Structure 1
Amino acid sequence: MTQTMSRLPRLGDWADQDELVRLQQAQLPKVFEWAARSPFYRGKLPPDLSSCPLTSKQDLRDSYPFGLLAVPRADLATYHESSGTAGQPTSSYYTDEDWVDLSERYARKWIGISNTDTFLVRTPYALMITGHLAHAAARLCGATVVPGDNRSLAMPYSRVIRVMHDLSVTLTWSMPTETLLWAAAARAAGLRPEVDFPGLRALFVGGEPLSPARRQRISEIWGVPVIEEYGSTETGSLAGQCPYGQMHLWADRAVFEVYHPDTGELTADGAGQIVVTPLFRQAMPLIRYNLEDDVVISYDDCACGWKLPTVRVLGRAAFGYPVAGHKINQNDLEELVFSLPATHEVLFWRAKAGAEKLRIEIEVPEAEREQACAALRAAVQRVHAVPCVVTGVAPGTLVPQSVLTSVHDVVKPRSLFGADEDWDKALLYY
């Protein structure tokens, strides 16, 4: 059986950075003890963290499926795999004890989760951890969970809006883009996001970079706070947003470092790739795991008083496209798009980076089209100094109306049909 953990740290258990470091140092020997039981780390670990090499995503892929397992298979509670957006998926597994740590970290939302909440979970359940994590954390806090998996044909956007409205959903968990699709679907159903969902208290979001301008626009549309979270299937929640809008790393539950690829140096703060050593992970201990996300970590004080480092997540390392000698990334463009006045009603956009020219399309009503396109073109040229063509297209071009309003014919497999039924659906499940 897995060894029962001592009491997990709580916010406020340390008064300053020195006490936080002492908390980490006290737990690290246990982490090394757990890691030494896995095939991957067995016999390879130096005596202290500062001497350890990085663990890479490729290491996890090469160890598929159970090369990092540090407990008996009988002690596992769940098995997961990452989405594979950067290549072959990686395996992750957790014990019941690990899930206590995972759930508590996710539940650290400044707005709070309670037994009076109805919580819509609108991320994949499947093999990734994201839906299960929010579900477990909400149940830990006593909330009613609505499992609205966003990869299921049984939960189209029309049904999401119906459920949110009729059940008076108070909290949601999704990618930021989902919340814009909900807003469009609500309007298609004759509802006003900012008025007709009075029970809604907050939108919890994660899973993709979120610019300040888009967060502000989403908050304005729905009239509630948008609270961001950062994490991964391999680690669970790593950071959450405080009441002052800063993202704080859960440094009482993991050691965070910054890797500088140009020099190979690791530091406690600065700009580089985030490296994580979870402190309470028994099934699959990770030592200096490089998530390969570009971040900026700072230990400057925050008005919230949490005494935790802050992080700005810039996205996957080196992601971007060259245009006329300048590197263009999605986060920078998103900031410009959502800095357009709300009166232009721009929610959906796309861009293509050519060798010499950037092409952008935005959905915008005809009455606002000329002004919106001119404003965005000027902003791109001012900030990025690249040739840019901005085209306005009619609403429904990038996100078809049918996506927002349709109800899928979801059937169970069967083999016997009546004379007037379509038996081409035999054995299908969709």
Structure 2
Amino acid sequence: MHLPQIGDWTDFAGLAKLQQDRLPAVLAAAERSPFYRKRGVAPLAQQPLTTKQDLRDAYPFGLLACDRASLATYHESSGSSGEPTASYYTEADWADLAERFARKWVGITADDMMLVRTPYALMITGHLAHAAARRHGATVVPADNRSLATPYSRVVRLLHDLGVTLTWSLPTDALVWAAAARVAGYRDFPSLRALFVGGEPVGPARKARIGRIWGAPVVEEYGATETGTLAGECRHGTMHLWADRAVFEVHDPRTGELCAEGRGQLVVTPLYREAMPLLRYAIEDEVEVSYTECPCGWHLPSVRVLGRAAFAAGGLTQLGLEELVFALPDDFGVWFWRARADGHRLRVEIEVADRWRSAAVATLGAAIRAAHPEIEVTVVAVPTGGLVPFRLLTAQAEVMKPRGLFGAGEDWDKSLQYY
């Protein structure tokens, strides 16, 4: 299967032709799926949305469009918005998945050592980064963030001692590593050349703060277990949808209208999917899509992934609030925060050292009130360690294999507690 590469088209019209040329094969693949065979396959513009509930109802293999023996992997989503959904991929699917993930402007090479700090579990994220790094010859450090065998103290030791050059994690994890490194006394990580992040919305201010802390660029990507990577950053900081590998639309849930661009919920139709074709799959993430040319010259639509609105009237989003928090001066050292919305009242807690307590509370409170005067705001400062406790930063691995025979001075109460 030939996969298009950036540069195979010279403008948005060429990109649209690439999509249209591929769609007949996509529709034919969907007809091999029990779900779409029962629903019926129409030209894409007439096809109804495929929802997360459709995927749940079709569990586990109702969307399978190939022989079961052809499957390479089976996955399930995290279930953060309800019951998990199933997805599966062939080896050919994995070639597409890994190539999309590796579309990082800094590149992945055989000289790299890449620490993967996302789950090696039913979700695709850790396996995806691992596969992409190996296909490009990089050494992988599989530091799964759902394992008690790799606490934060061990992560920062690996980052420092191995000379890790690339990392893949949640944006928040990169800040927790920095806190753990500070506690452990590590001062420099000269080999680190980029931090790849995804899995949660992250705004320019937080990305810039993470980059300044680590002295390396922060490269964001966006995707889902059901689809793999859908978008990535160019060197100009614009997030581009991989529209040569999928058709993207924006859905207005109030009117039902689907458009190529604008603000609404993202809808995706993968163009190269053997095991599990998806037609107009509604991811339900709130986005803004634009077909404005970028200096990078990729001729791909840009996307902003937005957080959910906390206040219907004020329009305050998690991403918007995050921008205000990370606009605080670096000297304040505010890395961690949380907020609770209750009607038109908002309580924000920030972790800050005592010397900056008053200034940080006053500055952030004033910024939120200026941006959202209709919201009643309370900002509370908690001491360092109040939101991210020191025990999390310093804990050692507490994992052991099943064992029956112990020495006289050993703790045999853990004989069967292999966790």
Query: TM exceeds 0.5?
Result: yes
Separation in 2 of the partners of 1:249 and 1:322? Answer: 28
Q: Which residue of 1 aligns with 2:402?
A: 413
Q: Which residue of 2 aligns with 1:304?
A: 296
2:250 to 231, 242, 258: 258
Q: Which residue of 2 aligns with 1:225?
A: 217
The one-letter code matched in structure 2 to 1:311 is V
The one-letter code matched in structure 1 to 2:293 is D
User: Are 1:185 and 2:173 matched, yes or no?
Assistant: no
Stretch deviating more after TM superposition (408-417 or 183-192): 408-417
The one-letter code matched in structure 1 to 2:107 is G
Separation in 2 of the partners of 1:248 and 1:281? Answer: 20
Stretch deviating more after TM superposition (383-392 or 120-129): 383-392
Q: Secondary structure at the match of 2:306?
A: strand
Separation in 1 of the partners of 2:24 and 2:274? Answer: 13
Q: Which residue of 2 aligns with 1:375?
A: 363
RMSD: 1.2
Normalising by structure 2, we get a TM-score of 0.98
2:87 to 84, 88, 92: 92
Matches within 5 A, 1:130-169: 130-169=125-164
Separation in 2 of the partners of 1:409 and 1:104? Answer: 36
User: Are 1:249 and 2:270 matched, yes or no?
Assistant: no
Q: Which residue of 2 aligns with 1:426?
A: 415
Structure 2: any 5+ residue segments left out of the alignment?
none
The one-letter code matched in structure 1 to 2:82 is G
Q: Which residue of 2 aligns with 1:278?
A: 270
Q: Secondary structure at the match of 2:126?
A: helix
The one-letter code matched in structure 2 to 1:13 is D
The one-letter code matched in structure 1 to 2:164 is V
Q: Is the 8 A contact 2:105 2:235 kept in 1?
A: yes
Q: Is the 8 A contact 2:310 2:318 kept in 1?
A: no
Separation in 2 of the partners of 1:223 and 1:304? Answer: 23
Separation in 1 of the partners of 2:103 and 2:326? Answer: 28
Q: Secondary structure at the match of 1:359?
A: strand
Task: Please report how far the alpha carbon of residue 331 of structure 1 lies from its aligned counterpart in structure 2 after TM superposition.
Answer: 1.2
Matches within 5 A, 1:27-426: 27-192=22-187, 196-315=188-307, 319-322=308-311, 326-385=314-373, 386-426=375-415
Normalising by structure 1, we get a TM-score of 0.95
Separation in 1 of the partners of 2:383 and 2:108? Answer: 39
Q: Secondary structure at the match of 2:55?
A: helix
Aligned structure 1 segments of 4 or more residues deviating by more than 4 angstroms: none
Task: Please report how far the alpha carbon of residue 420 of structure 1 lies from its aligned counterpart in structure 2 after TM superposition.
Answer: 4.1
When the two structures are aligned, how many residues end up with a matched partner? Answer: 418
Deviation string 1:174-200 (CA, Å, 9 cap, x unpaired) is 0000000011011111123xxx10000
The one-letter code matched in structure 1 to 2:190 is P
Separation in 2 of the partners of 1:103 and 1:114? Answer: 14
Q: Is the 8 A contact 2:30 2:41 kept in 1?
A: no
Stretch deviating more after TM superposition (59-68 or 15-24): 15-24
CA shift in 2, pair 1:248/1:356, >3 Å: closer
Task: Please report how far the alpha carbon of residue 46 of structure 1 lies from its aligned counterpart in structure 2 after TM superposition.
Answer: 3.8
The one-letter code matched in structure 1 to 2:22 is Q
Structure 1: any 5+ residue segments left out of the alignment?
none
Task: Please report how far the alpha carbon of residue 233 of structure 1 lies from its aligned counterpart in structure 2 after TM superposition.
Answer: 0.1
Separation in 2 of the partners of 1:218 and 1:43? Answer: 48
Separation in 2 of the partners of 1:45 and 1:12? Answer: 35
Separation in 2 of the partners of 1:253 and 1:48? Answer: 18
